[in-house]
Amino acid sequence: MPTAVGRTCWVIAEGYIPGNSHGTEPQMTSHETACILNASPTDAHIRITLYFSDRDPVGPYRITVPALRTHHVRFNDLDDPAPVPRDTDYASIIDSDVPVVVQHTRLDSRQSELALLSTVAFPA
């Protein structure tokens, strides 16, 4: 089993939380997730910075992903220093003090049937 895999800086250029949803909360709520894996033996201290089209960057949002754990961060739930606006284009940079791996996923339930997208983030 590897002791630390990944990189310390990741970029998700596509960000957008649809403002409405169909179906049972919270599973079917339209949401965006940054899935972070910390396979190292050390806790990872993560800082997320959000970028917008028409205002200054917001952040850092601080999250700890314990050693040997994964954490699927819902952007919908971020609220310190500010909640993430809905129906708004954004992008994010995710920094970590130990190597991690980041994958980006969106569930869009604006219509009655859901749609999904996912991609590994860009390792900067």
Q: Which stretches of the chain bind its own copies, using CB under 8 A?
A: 1-2, 5-6, 9, 11-16, 23, 27-28, 33, 35-37, 39, 47, 49, 51-54, 56-57, 59-60, 68-72, 87, 89-91, 93, 95, 101-106, 108, 110-124
State the minimum distance, in angstroms, from the CB of residue 14 to its own copies.
4
Backbone angles phi, psi at 77, to 5 degrees: -90, -10
Q: How far is CA 29 from CA 18, 48, 82, in A?
A: 9, 22, 20
State the minimum distance, in angstroms, from the CB of residue 85 to its own copies.
13
* CB closer to its own copies out of 82 and 124: 124
Centre a 10 Å sphere on the Cβ of residue 93 and count the other Cβ atoms it contains: 20
Query: Residue 84 in contact with residue 50, Cβ under 8 Å?
Result: yes
